[in-house]
Structure 1
Amino acid sequence: MRKSLDEDGNIVYSLGILSNEDSTSIPIDLLLESDSLVLKKRISLFEYIPLYKEISSSYKHYEIENIPIIQVNSLSRIKASDNSIDDFINDSKVLRGKDTIVIDLRGNIGGNMINIEKWYEEFFGTKLRKDIVESGLYTNTSIDLSRHKFESKENEPDNVKDDCLEIISQYESQKYFPGWSPIEYADFKPMDNKTNIFVLMDKKTSSASEFLIYYLKKLDNVTLIGTNSNGCMLTGNCNSAVLPNSNIPIYISHKIYISKDFQNIDGLGILPDLWVKPEESLDRIIKYIKKVS
């Protein structure tokens, strides 16, 4: 049984399972017993489909019944003229100290980890100490792929691309080139969080947005709502190429991220505290907040 919310925002328990089957419904057989009756019944469980939404910017801030909603569609720019990711970071100063906020990460497939670190520091007033073991593979191939990615990026302005290309050009002068960069990690230090933070997530919530959830869930007063996330945290900094003969596109990561307990959740993702259909999660969590506040 999974803890959930009904249409009125009450906490209930619903029957549910995690499955890797490629099917929108799964039949299961139930055996219900009481002192005088035994009942067998077959039911079908239906997949919680990720929320579909059209997006034109990385970030949007609005309110529902005086509750701040932080809708983060991407942790990078959607297009070169989109500066809303900067608003995401700057608004954190205004939102700091609020009693309650809702962070909507449904459909967020990731982006730049630096934006997470900046938001965390502005909102909580302390630097994020990342306890994920991190290393990057820097070779002629990985550097050429990274350089090509940024030269052809359409969602970043020229000055940002130039800065990134300058950083990439410096890798070849590092002592570890060619090879893996030195391992980096720290001990995460939880801080005293007074704000009730409700995070909406679904199966499309991936990569950098999962790292944001990973660190938020270590704090007090944080509740995750929706479905399990995508489970895309093992590798990062993905580059792409096209095989010359078959024209098959391939995607290659050159960074690896491993938790210190070596737990790999690729394909499984981070599990929510409250299991709710993604299309219903915002409405139901607002009703829940109004009930308990």
Structure 2
Amino acid sequence: MTNSGRRCESWSLKAVRLLCALAALMALVVQPARPALALDQSRLVLSPQAKAIVEANRPEPDEMPHEDLLALFSSLLYDYTDFRDEPDLNRLRMDPAAIRKAGAELEEWSISRAKAVEEINLLFDVLKYGYAGYQFFGGDEVFEAAKSRILKEMSQYAQSIPLWNYSYMIAASLEFIQDGHFAFGNRSICQWHTFRVNPYLRFFMDDDGRFVSETGIRLDSINGADPSSFLKPSIDEDGDIVYILGMLVPDWQADFMCQLEYEDGRMEMAWLVPVSPMDYGGPVYELGEVEGLPLVSCRSFDSVHDQDRALSKFVQDADKLRHEKAILVDLRSNHGGSAAYGMLWCQRLMEGGAGPATFTAELATDTAIALLLNRLAERREEELDADEARAVQAYWKNAQDPSRPGWCRISIERGGRVSNAPFIAVLIDSNASSATEDFIRRLRSMDNVAIIGTNTRGALLCVNPGIFALPHSGLEVRIPTMLWLDSEMQNRDGIGYLPDFWVHPDHALEYGVKFVKKHLVPEGSAVR
């Protein structure tokens, strides 16, 4: 073999290995591949009471024509006319080990004002060319205003700026970026929301649609408003539907108190306490059984550390569940990973596609590619060599949309509400995020699903983050390079998807099983 042939073979092998790793980072593809609990042949569905609650928590059917949705999505992508002011790529390369070391010593540092100005200019150039949400959050007008605020605040310092203060003023000026994957200085600037609840009060709904206490007294108002704004459908220890006093509030809001006024004139004050998430642990994937119901538990969709085998089994086992009457899917503590696993699980269960219409657009600028190369190096814990870097660059450049410079072609998944034979009870908590939320989004599009727990994390708007570090301060910036929206065109980051039945995650499985046994009825039956 000639030297050129060896070089070609070596480059090809490296390219194959790198693109395999890249697939693990981006949008993994899983290899496909069937205990069934049988009752009678009728389909089990939610009782009318439960179904009404679930349907009230689902989006209205798409009314906007698909072409208009595509046009709306396209308008959220920055229109690059040229790339003359794109940042120098050499300034974006980072050594993960060196940055980690620097990050541990940030408290002792300050930065000169001249270097800080240089970094701010670089940061906003990188955001313009490397952040997929740049136009979504206001484009040049909003980001330039944020940059001006930072520079004005820095002008108060004669020579040097304490690094902690420097980091804070940048993060504070970027708080308009409500993006669960965007991070600055190793911290998220997204405004997260936590569910707060009063654990002692519960209410019921009477035949007139009024809320009544456990003693049968009607509730007139909460904080002077209609009680329905404060009362959430829930499930008690017997599997019955009740209503609890709870609110989704920003994390920074330390205390929250409600004043309740009853029909008999009595008034009551009630404190709301946060529902704090915990790590439920367990294997990456496990198919078990609880009280005769199949239990699908999945704690991660990330294929690192040889988890791909377990996740491939997760996908394959959907075949076994297709003819079940009801199944439980436990997604608590699943922080996400690759959305491919949830998509393929739904496809195998339904023998077809499931989910709403979604639109995705990936940046293919040199800046975005440099950020992703840094991320890939971080995951591998070593820098990429020249051949590997060229392979990644070629991958993105070949995917560019000639009609939209700087972007790959928009990827469109046509969806719709589908009918699923097995009833699915989905258990969630506020640790469920990113790819897990896409799985939940797909499950919500089915007509025979109930979601139990608390709100999810809210990290789905922009994904596939790359990274770089500011050259003088060493502050790390995590910047998503792909915009991802469904037909609702809503940003749920920081809030997430809301459950149909609000239940403390610690009790979601136990109460969920009792709910399934009490509130499923044969389809077409006359049960109220």
Q: TM-score scaled by structure 2?
A: 0.50
Within the alignment, does 1:122 sit opposite 2:343 as a pair? no
- Distance (Å, rounded) in 1 between the aligned partners of 2:248 and 2:360: 29
The structure in which a higher percent of residues are helix is: 2
What is the 5 A alignment of 1:52-201? Answer: 52-55=279-282, 57-80=283-306, 83-128=309-354, 131-153=357-379, 169-176=394-401, 179-201=406-428
Higher relative contact order (CA 8 A, sep 6+): 2
Distance (Å, rounded) in 1 between the aligned partners of 2:427 and 2:511: 11
Q: Counting strand residues as a fraction of each chain, which structure ranks higher?
A: 1
Q: 2:272 aligns with which of 45, 49, 54?
A: 45
The aligned amino acid for 2:313 is D
How far residue 60 of structure 1 moved from its aligned partner, in angstroms, is: 1.6
Distance 1:59 1:270 in 2: 22
Alignment-derived partner of residue 257 in structure 1: 484
Residue 398 of structure 2 aligns with an amino acid whose one-letter code is: S
In 1, are the aligned partners of 2:375 and 2:465 still within 8 Å (CA)?
no
Counterparts in 2 of 1:206-285, with a 5 A limit? 206-285=433-512
CA distance in 1, matches of 2:267, 2:373: 61
CA distance in structure 2 between the aligned counterparts of 1:81 and 1:206, rounded to whole angstroms: 18
How far residue 67 of structure 1 moved from its aligned partner, in angstroms, is 1.1
Identity of aligned residues (%): 29
Partner in structure 1 of residue 235 of structure 2? 5
Distance 1:201 1:164 in 2: 39
CA–CA separation in structure 2 for the residues paired with 1:28 and 1:260: 35
Cα distance change on mapping 1:244 and 1:58 into 2, 3 Å: farther
- Cα RMSD after superposing both structures: 2.6
2:12 maps to what in 1? none
* 8 Å CA contact 1:150, 1:164 repeated in 2: no
Corresponding residue for residue 212 of structure 2: none
CA 154–11 in structure 1, closer or farther in 2 if over 3 Å, else same: farther
In the alignment, the residues of structure 1 paired with residue 394 and residue 341 of structure 2 have an alpha-carbon distance, to the nearest angstrom, of 22
User: In terms of Rg, which structure is larger?
Assistant: 2
Amino acid across the alignment from 2:289: E
- What's the offset of the Cα at 1:81? 5.7
Cα distance in structure 2, aligned partners of 1:6 and 1:152? 46
Question: Deviations along 1:217-254, whole A, 9 cap, x unmatched?
Answer: 11111000011111111101122333332222221100
Secondary structure at the aligned position of 1:49 is classed as coil
What is the DSSP-based 3-state SS (H/G/I as helix, E as strand, rest coil) of the residue aligned with 1:16? strand
Measured after TM superposition, the shift of residue 277 of structure 1 is 0.3
Secondary structure at 2:250 match in 1: coil
Residue 76 of structure 1 aligns to a residue whose secondary structure is coil
In the alignment, the residues of structure 2 paired with residue 33 and residue 107 of structure 1 have an alpha-carbon distance, to the nearest angstrom, of: 41
1:78, distance to aligned residue in structure 2 (A)? 4.9
| 2:263 counterpart residue number | 33
- Deviation string, structure 1 residues 147-190 (Cα, Å, up to 9, x no partner): 333344359xxxxxxx9995664112344385112222243133
The residue type equivalent to 2:297 in the other structure is Q
| Cα distance in structure 2, aligned partners of 1:284 and 1:230 | 22
Equivalent in the alignment of 1:160: none
CA separation in 1, counterparts of 2:429 and 2:255?
17
Q: Distance in 1 between matches of 2:346 and 2:307?
A: 24
* Matched-pair contact (CA < 8 Å) for 1:49–1:277: no
Deviations 1:185-211 (A, max 9, x none): 243133321111011111111111111
Q: Secondary structure of the residue that 2:341 maps to in structure 1?
A: helix
Work out whether residues 234 and 243 of structure 2, in 8 Å CA contact, stay in contact via their aligned partners in 1.
yes
- How many aligned positions are there? 283
